[in-house]
Amino acid sequence: MTGIATVRGERAARVAWARLTEPGDSGVAAQISAVGAEEALHAVGAETTLGQRMAERLAELDVDRDLAIARRLGARLVVPGDAEWPVGLDDLEAPPVCLWVLGGARLSDVTTRSVAVVGARAATGYGVHVAKELGAGLAERGFGVVSGAAYGIDGAAHEGALAVEGVTVAVLACGVDRPYPSGHAGLLRRVQVDGLVISEVPPGSAPTKWRFLSRNRMIATLTQGTVVVEAGLRSGSRNTARLADDHLRVVCAVPGPVSSAVSAGCHELVRGGAILVTDAAEVAEAVGPIGELAPRKEGAGQPGDDLEPNHRIVLAALPTRKPVTTEELARLSGLSSTEVRGALGALDLAGLARRHGEGWRRPPGR
Amino acid sequence: MTGIATVRGERAARVAWARLTEPGDSGVAAQISAVGAEEALHAVGAETTLGQRMAERLAELDVDRDLAIARRLGARLVVPGDAEWPVGLDDLEAPPVCLWVLGGARLSDVTTRSVAVVGARAATGYGVHVAKELGAGLAERGFGVVSGAAYGIDGAAHEGALAVEGVTVAVLACGVDRPYPSGHAGLLRRVQVDGLVISEVPPGSAPTKWRFLSRNRMIATLTQGTVVVEAGLRSGSRNTARLADDHLRVVCAVPGPVSSAVSAGCHELVRGGAILVTDAAEVAEAVGPIGELAPRKEGAGQPGDDLEPNHRIVLAALPTRKPVTTEELARLSGLSSTEVRGALGALDLAGLARRHGEGWRRPPGR
């Protein structure tokens, strides 16, 4: 087709593909995969459906301008095969044809050990708090925190990572030059200092519903696991979780009150097999390499936990204030006086029983 | 032994066993199981450990008095083999030797289709609310609601069942004549009108820590499933849940905020394999016979859910306010103008797109 024929080279061809088609098109991906981006581009027939679609956008095609804009922004183009290309994306049926990347980190490094923290825009104070804690805790554990820069959970996850000087990645549904949502322009500027702002659509592109869906599949596959913090029953985050699961990533969800509509999606995820998580350590355990175990939450040990049954029974019957006789303890515990005396001896040695004249009680503070 | 030799008959012997030993003793259970309660009682040697234990309590032994007290209370004695005996208890290694039962329902009937709803005494307002809703919802679905009459979750579960005139069973760690906790005396009176108050320890017995633990194993096995509503990490309710699981009952837990200490035990249960539940329908599905399915929580359908992909893409691109041209839609959607026109025709027919001069938009309210 006119205008396309002049595009030369794989990188330029990928820029052209990104400009002329919508992301996530498996037909396009198959053709590029078969013969390479340049040859596939030149092979598109004007009479085909794809050719007709691309024709609508030919007026916008200017690869050199797209690359110049990116350079001016400080953004770099990353394509499959580049050292910085995040290999997780190759699991997609239709990987991005290219990525525009803005920021000080190296995308392939950050995403090698990374978690997506996503959730509702209309988050509650509870959800925002948990997302910040998770973002901070995961960053402290050396995970890149990947999210979508949306209001609510996404923004809180980025903020949490930034608060501990961690590395976070914002994956946008629009061009990296368009801070979206606009209220997060400042956040996105801070993200790209040590982290990254990335997109598969060219600079200047607006976010559309389709591009949000396509963006979600990137979040799901750039990372080794996705944590949904709050999500309504029809949330885009559940979509991200499903995509993560489809691509054999770990899916975690944070519980909340059953009366909260924005926890309902999380609860459905857990009922469907997602791992319930309550803190960053549990996420790290679920997502990280084997051996990264969260401490078991068994609560503090209580005196007597390791005693033999009879001794524990006597300990349970032993008052903390007014001392009781061994006969009284026998009656209370259902053991014989001989057994009670034996148990009291052991408890005395362990510092768990104290004699007072004819009676026994627990020592103060035990 | 003196005093024991005069006890005659299986029922009387079981009353004596209950008076002379603590519940949950597997040695006692094995002897009764082998030769019957009467013969086993007469066979206890005074020199044995068991004989020594029982000797401490011989002064309290008066089977006729125990039965007379029960009659005066309106309580009945239920022993294994009676028609009212709840067969679930036979799954225990040491089933109760007998039960004191107070109230208008028939224990075997109520427990055939029953759920235990248990949890923290120091429950939150949230937990109390959920426990009431579960108690009511399960009772409405024809489940007996079994709990321990404690403050907090237990009491709320009983209250919920009573509120819908359902049947609820309070399993006490003390005699059925001793309302415990005392603040629930009124509740226990209401429970026994259409439901039941039961105990394995004789009238007059005080609640002890050991008897609470033993009581929990009854709650766990009388029912087909246990729901823990709120529980700290070292809660007795987790113990009940573990016992239910040990005896192949269904274990469910209600989630809550990860910041709530009394939801931490529930979250650990879910992480250990318990079923996360958010309402009575989900409990009924988990516990009830196959086919009792809770409605899936997928949220209300959205317009366009059943459209083919291209039509959905155009619908997503279609503004709700200012109309746009088909060329504009082609550019927005990445489809060809021909595809957009085809999609608009289908959307128009479905009432999802409306023409305005040269432009298109969504009809109001869609």
- With CB atoms and an 8 Å threshold, state whether B208 touches A317: yes
Per-residue pLDDT, A305: 56
The pair of structure tokens assigned to A215 is: 């963006």
Confidence of residue A354 (pLDDT cuts 50, 70, 90): confident
Confidence of residue B341 (pLDDT cuts 50, 70, 90): confident
List pLDDT tens digits, range B199-237: 999 999 999 999 999 999 999 999 999 999 999 998 899
- With CB atoms and an 8 Å threshold, state whether A254 touches B259: no
| Chain A residues within an 8 Å CB radius of B201 | none
- With CB atoms and an 8 Å threshold, state whether B268 touches A297: yes
- With CB atoms and an 8 Å threshold, state whether B259 touches A126: yes
CA angle B345, B348, B353 (to 5 degrees): 115
Helices B26-35 and B10-20 meet at what angle, rounded to 10?
170
Per-residue pLDDT, A119: 98
Q: Which residue has the higher pLDDT, A186 or B298?
A: A186
Confidence of residue B326 (pLDDT cuts 50, 70, 90): confident
Confidence of residue A335 (pLDDT cuts 50, 70, 90): confident
Chain A: closest CA distance from residue B193 (Å): 32
| Chain A residues within an 8 Å CB radius of B257 | 126, 255-257
What whole-number percentage of chain B has pLDDT above 70? 94
Smallest CA–CA distance from B335 into chain A, residue: A53
User: What average pLDDT does this structure show over A270-296?
Assistant: 87
| Chain B residues within an 8 Å CB radius of A279 | 258
Confidence of residue B300 (pLDDT cuts 50, 70, 90): very low
Average pLDDT, chain B: 91
| Chain B residues within an 8 Å CB radius of A49 | 336, 338-339
User: What average pLDDT does this structure show over B323-331?
Assistant: 85
Smallest CA–CA distance from B268 into chain A, residue: A297
- With CB atoms and an 8 Å threshold, state whether A234 touches B271: no
| Chain B residues within an 8 Å CB radius of A326 | none
Q: What is the CATH number of domain B87-287?
A: 3.40.50.450
What are the distances in angstroms from CA A259 to CA B35, B138, B257, B261, B279? 54, 17, 11, 18, 10
A200-204, B47-51, B132-136, B361-365: least confidently modelled range: B361-365
Residue B292, pLDDT above cutoff 70? no
List pLDDT tens digits, range A231-279: 999 889 999 999 999 999 999 999 999 999 999 999 999 999 999 999 9
Nearest CA to A98 out of A6, A160, A20 is that of A20
Residue B301, pLDDT above cutoff 50? no
Confidence of residue A175 (pLDDT cuts 50, 70, 90): very high
Q: Which residue has the higher pLDDT, B266 or B321?
A: B266
Do residues A334 and A324 lie in contact, with contact meaning Cβ atoms separated by under 8 Å? no
List pLDDT tens digits, range A205-237: 999 999 999 999 999 999 999 999 999 998 899
Interface test with B, best of A267, A318, A320, A324 (most B CBs within 10 A): A267
Confidence of residue A26 (pLDDT cuts 50, 70, 90): very high
Confidence of residue B346 (pLDDT cuts 50, 70, 90): confident
Per-residue pLDDT, A306: 66
Chain A: closest CA distance from residue B211 (Å): 10
Q: What is the CATH number of domain B309-361?
A: 1.10.10.10
CB atoms within 10 A of CB A234: 15
Please give the Cα distance from A339 to B89 (Å, whole number). Answer: 29
Nearest CA to B347 out of B310, B309, B315 is that of B315
Residue A30, pLDDT above cutoff 90? yes
Out of B208, B233, B337, closest to residue A299 by CB: B233
- With CB atoms and an 8 Å threshold, state whether B334 touches A210: yes
pTM over 0.90: no
A69-83, A298-312, A321-335: least confidently modelled range: A298-312
Per-residue pLDDT, A34: 95
Smallest CA–CA distance from A296 into chain B, residue: B268
Smallest CA–CA distance from A129 into chain B, residue: B259
| Chain B residues within an 8 Å CB radius of A307 | none
Per-residue pLDDT, B85: 98
Rounded to 10 degrees, what is the CA torsion of A184, A186, A189, A194?
-90
- With CB atoms and an 8 Å threshold, state whether A129 touches B232: no
List pLDDT tens digits, range A108-123: 999 999 999 999 999 9
| Chain B residues within an 8 Å CB radius of A129 | 259
Domain locations in chain B as residue ranges: 1-61, 87-287, 309-361
User: What average pLDDT does this structure show over B86-104?
Assistant: 96
Do residues B352 and B366 lie in contact, with contact meaning Cβ atoms separated by under 8 Å? yes
Q: In what order do the strands lie in the sheet with A168-172?
A: A76-78, A99-102, A196-199, A168-172, A144-147, A114-118, A225-228, A250-253, A275-276
- With CB atoms and an 8 Å threshold, state whether B333 touches A22: yes
Helices B125-140 and B153-163 meet at what angle, rounded to 10?
40
Furthest-apart CA atoms within chain A: distance in Å = 106
Do residues B287 and B115 lie in contact, with contact meaning Cβ atoms separated by under 8 Å? yes
A61-75, B65-79, B307-321: least confidently modelled range: B307-321
User: What average pLDDT does this structure show over A131-145?
Assistant: 98
Chain B: closest CA distance from residue A253 (Å): 11
Smallest CA–CA distance from A208 into chain B, residue: B317
| Chain B residues within an 8 Å CB radius of A264 | 278, 297
Confidence of residue B291 (pLDDT cuts 50, 70, 90): low
